[in-house]
Amino acid sequence: MISTDVKTWGVTKKGEQVYCYTLKNEFLEVNVLNYGGVIQKIMMPDKNGKWENIVLGFDDIKGYEERSPHFGAIVGRTAGRIKKGELTINGTLYKLEVNNCGNNLHGYPEFYGQKIWDCNLKEEGEKAILTLKRTSPHLEAGYPGKIDFEIKYILEKNTLTLEYEGIPDRDTYMSLTNHTYFNLSGDYKKDIGNQKITLFSDEYLEVDEETLPVKISKTDGTVFDLRNGRYFDEVFKSDESQVKIVNQGIDHPFVLSHKERFDALCVDEESGRAVEMTTDQPAVVIYTGNWLDEVGTISGNVICKNHFGFCLETQDYPDVLNFIPEKGKIYNSNEKYNQKTTFIFKSFVK
């Protein structure tokens, strides 16, 4: 049985009202904020039927405003880093705001995960649909074009689907994602080391010290070959240079093969929880929270630690117009932007 609810959740430093929207059925309970479209909580049962939270977040708006490493947020206009904040559209160079080693990361400043979105929540049969809208003005953070965005969070049975649409008024570029950190142990009982990730990808993008893409390489023979499944701990303990360069973890784009029923699967055998992911995007950045020890206290008064969560950031190739421009796509009023990613949550009863 589907149910929905909305309640006041806090007030931003700017005096904006924050609401929490709840989408719930017998499989999942998902809480989403109008602040940044943040997925603040996902409750699901373990193999014994115990309901616990499986995403990282805060219990108040102050945490999201002051200390959040993009917990659960909509990322835009572009996911990932753009080198030197330089974006060239039709021969015109746009200088973007920079915020990360002289690069533009996740579209800053005040990226979409820090904006208040207009929200509409409705029930439609066995679906709960939360629709978020905002208009990004021309040259916001330096990006060209006014864009009308609409993002839908759709809960149906044990599936959460995110659908993105962006309609610009002129030629521009965009690549959105969601930055939820999953931890399937439930209520952060453990880090993600003993959770097993499977990813159908034959190639990944090597990165430099600034986490900018520098080379497309085969996953064969590396710790990034996840096609047969690998515990995160195997990666964390690796001596490979690409693991070390991002503080002993994963923070890399993977090229998706799209050859299997799903693109990614993560399983926590102890809790019996699993999440599958499918997307229409060409790539996913897996990030394993390699700097989370800087965050401090999160929900439930838990002290956050490195490797406390993993992200599946479905997106275009990062920095595509600079790195591999032949794969870049320009959007306009006739070629609108669309993206769809689906997460399927399962509990395995032993």
206-216 residue pLDDT tens: 999 999 999 99
Name the percent of the chain lying above pLDDT 90.
97
Residue in 150, 88, 176, 169 with CA at minimum distance from that of residue 332: 169
Q: What is the mean pLDDT of residues 237-259?
A: 98
Q: Is the pLDDT of residue 341 over 70?
A: yes
Q: Residue 109: its pLDDT value, please?
A: 77
Q: Is the pLDDT of residue 110 over 80?
A: no
Banded pLDDT at 348 (limits 50, 70, 90): confident
- Residue 179 annotated as catalytic: yes
Average pLDDT over the chain reads: 97
Q: Is the pLDDT of residue 287 over 90?
A: yes
Q: What is the mean pLDDT of residues 174-185?
A: 98
Q: What is the mean pLDDT of residues 244-264?
A: 98
pTM > 0.95: yes
- Residue 313 annotated as catalytic: yes
Q: Which of 70, 106, 179, 252 is catalytic?
A: 179
Beta-ladder partners of 124: 127
Banded pLDDT at 350 (limits 50, 70, 90): low
Candidate from 19-23, 97-101, 194-198 with smallest mean pLDDT: 97-101
Spatial distance between the Cα atoms of 67 and 292, rounded to a whole number of angstroms: 10
Candidate from 46-60, 99-113, 254-268, 269-283 with smallest mean pLDDT: 99-113
| Amino acid making up residue 16 | E
| Sign of the CA dihedral with 112 first, then 38, 169, and 282 last | positive
Q: What is the mean pLDDT of residues 120-125?
A: 98
Q: Residue 108: its pLDDT value, please?
A: 87
Rounded to 10 degrees, what is the CA torsion of 193, 60, 46, 293?
10
Name the percent of the chain lying above pLDDT 70.
99
Q: Each residue of 260-281: pLDDT tens digit? A: 999 999 999 999 999 999 999 9
- The alpha-helical segments, DSSP class H, found in the chain are 61-66, 232-236, 241-244, 320-323
Q: Is the pLDDT of residue 100 over 90?
A: no
The number of beta carbons lying within 10 Å of the beta carbon of residue 35 is 24
193 within 8 A of 231, measured Cβ to Cβ: yes
Instruction: Give 211-258 as a DSSP string.
Output: --EEEEEE-TTSTT--TT-EEHHHHHT---HHHHTTTSS-EEEEEE--
For the sheet containing 29-33, what is the strand order?
Answer: 3-11, 17-24, 29-33, 39-45, 51-53
200 within 8 A of 181, measured Cβ to Cβ: no
